[in-house]
Amino acid sequence: MKLKVYRYHEGMAAPRYDTFQLVPSPAMTVLEALFQFQEKLDDSLAFRYSCRGAVCGTCAMLINKVPRLACRTQVESLLKGNLKVAIAPYPAIGETVPWDPEEEVLVEPLPHLPVIRDLIVDMGIFFQYYRFIAPVFRPSDPDPEKERIMDPAAVKKLETYTNCVLCAACHAACPVVGQNPEYLGPAALAKLYRFHVDPRDVEEDSTLKRADIPNGWWACDLYGNCNRVCPKGVPPRTAIEKAVAALNKEKKEA
């Protein structure tokens, strides 16, 4: 098989793609293939990684035109076509290079974020929007002696959104982000909804209003790519739909 990797560094006239021939070992991940590329072809290849266990979200990349975590994406499954994801078109899908998905694994940086070098992107704007929604737990009562008891149903509802690892895969797959760079994006909005559904949070009723702006809840066009690419099963589109419904209901009753 071949690994086709996007290359860019400051001073280059244009990006290029380097291709590396390798024999994949059983269960080899794309991250392992990148290490092999780095060790045997070019040690200047730059990419991010940390936990190697799909926990930190650091190694999110555009793999075969879908944002994925390199540490959990297996090369063999990609070549067999077992990891296809039906997503709505966005610019990164259209801007492609010749590649054979049955013989090659194409690895590129996440879309919608400035490329610093090779597969490393500047996450500044992503975290700027994350900080904007103020994702901080504000307890509604004094600290208890032992713990705050929650109903199991509330815990299950909350855990749907607490699994986010801030990898920015949803941000990279969102057509709205590509069209409107000022849109807060699915990750920030899903995280905000997580605090809205937390019964322990003092601002449960007003939390949604933090994103009640043109580039917040209302900018989403409900493509659903965010739900489909999240490696942890977090459904940002679902959160956005529920938030919009709640705000509309509140405005009608006002």
Residue of 211, 145, 159 whose CA lies nearest to 183:
211
- The pLDDT score that the predictor gives to residue 178 is 93
Q: What is the dihedral of CA 37, 39, 42, 44, to 10 degrees?
A: 110
Token pair in block for residue 40? 């045997």
What is the rounded CA–CA span in Å between residue 99 and residue 85? 18
The predicted model gives 98-108 an average pLDDT of 93
Domains defined along the chain, listed by start: 2-120 (3.10.20.30), 123-253 (1.10.1060.10)
Residue type at 22 in one-letter notation: L
The predicted model gives 27-42 an average pLDDT of 95
Select the more confidently predicted residue: 35 or 197: 35
pLDDT tens digits, residue range 75-88? 999 999 999 999 99
Q: Is the pLDDT of residue 164 over 90?
A: yes
C-beta separation of 2 from 21 below 8 A: yes
What is the rounded CA–CA span in Å between residue 116 and residue 9? 7
What is the rounded CA–CA span in Å between residue 164 and residue 233? 8
